[in-house]
């Protein structure tokens, strides 16, 4: 399958590292004009240079802005007034005892993980429907379905994203625009490495620490390993392509079989 996204502009939020950077790289490799986003301009430009070098796609640019704020969102919208593909990847996570999560933390997680996506969909969806083609993809998580006891505030936001995706898919019904959520499983990123260390300690070598984390904290995984960011990106690139024209309103899993259900 040859996916050609030439002529399409894609904005990937929170794409200076991890899954977001892998998605931006995958879309650039497919020929899209990719816009990298992060809070700091220097980090964004560094990622742009890396993606150009890895893919040969010089049509990769950046738009710095903190999308958890209205001001940061406005800066990105001013820089990128119209997109064909919107990937809402921005998100934060961390462990905390359920009864110790403050009101402030609940609000922060909602602002970053949910409202940032809602703002951008609200801004970009009209242009997509007007042209009769577009892709909106929200990066959810297995935690949306299997709420982790150690981070229920994170799980709540990912469940919310599934609702956001389904609702906006109905708003875009019949327009040629698709809206989907991607349920990603436990993925090997720098942030997750830190999270694994929080739970299993710093003493073990990484491979052993990863194995212990999966056995003790994610035993449902059928892969029995962390997923690589590129594996998430492969599904996102497909869903962003014309080949996925009949997939909308869905919660598509790339979770390594973690969610023990036929449907999400």
- 202 and 151 belong to one structural domain: no
Q: In what order do the strands lie in the sheet with 85-88?
A: 60-64, 33-38, 9-12, 85-88, 134-141, 177-184, 251-254
**Residue 55: closest CA among 12, 16, 24, 91:** 24
Q: What is the pLDDT of residue 263?
A: 81
Question: Can 154 be counted among the known catalytic residues?
Answer: yes
- 150 and 196 belong to one structural domain: no
The first and second tokens of residue 65, run together, are: 């802005």
When divided into structural domains, the chain yields a total of 2
| Helix, strand, coil percentages in the chain from 3-state DSSP, rounded to 5 | 50, 15, 35
Residue 141 has φ and ψ, to the nearest 5°, of -165, 160
- 42 and 161 belong to one structural domain: yes
Dump pLDDT digits (tens) for 128-139. Answer: 999 999 999 999
Dump pLDDT digits (tens) for 208-229. Answer: 999 999 999 889 999 999 999 9
CB 162 within 8 A of CB 231: no
pLDDT of residue 264 exceeding 80: no
Contacts of 14 (CB under 8 A, 6+ apart): 20, 37, 38, 67, 89, 90, 91
List the domain range (segments joined by +) for residue 206: 188-226
Tell whether 261 is covered by a domain: no
Dump pLDDT digits (tens) for 184-201. Answer: 999 998 888 988 999 999
Q: Which of 124, 154, 238, 258 is catalytic?
A: 154
Tell whether 256 is covered by a domain: no
- 104 and 218 belong to one structural domain: no
């Amino acid at each position: 399958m040859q996916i050609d996204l030439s002529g399409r502009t894609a904005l990937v939020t929170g794409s200076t590292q991890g899954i977001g950077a892998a998605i931006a790289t995958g879309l650039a490799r497919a020929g899209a004009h990719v816009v990298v986003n992060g809070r700091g301009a220097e980090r964004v430009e560094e990622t742009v240079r890396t993606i150009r070098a890895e893919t040969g796609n010089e049509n990769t640019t950046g738009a710095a802005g903190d999308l958890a704020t209205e001001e940061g969102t406005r800066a990105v919208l001013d820089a990128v007034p119209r997109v064909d593909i919107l990937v809402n990847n921005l998100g934060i996570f961390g462990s905390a005892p359920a009864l110790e999560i403050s009101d402030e933390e609940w609000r922060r997680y909602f602002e970053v993980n949910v409202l940032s996506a809602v703002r951008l969909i609200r801004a970009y969806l009209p242009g997509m429907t007007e042209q009769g083609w577009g892709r909106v993809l929200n990066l959810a998580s297995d935690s949306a379905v299997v709420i982790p006891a150690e981070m229920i505030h994170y799980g709540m936001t990912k469940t919310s994203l599934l609702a956001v995706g389904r609702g906006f898919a109905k708003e875009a019904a019949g327009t040629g625009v698709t809206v989907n959520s991607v349920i990603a499983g436990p993925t090997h990123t720098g942030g997750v490495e830190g999270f694994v260390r929080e739970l299993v300690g710093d003493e073990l070598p990484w491979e052993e620490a990863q194995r212990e984390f999966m056995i003790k904290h994610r035993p449902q995984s059928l892969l029995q390993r962390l997923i690589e960011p590129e594996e998430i990106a492969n599904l996102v690139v497909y869903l962003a392509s014309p080949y996925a024209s009949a997939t909308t309103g869905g919660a598509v899993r790339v979770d390594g079989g973690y969610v023990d259900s036929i449907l999400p």
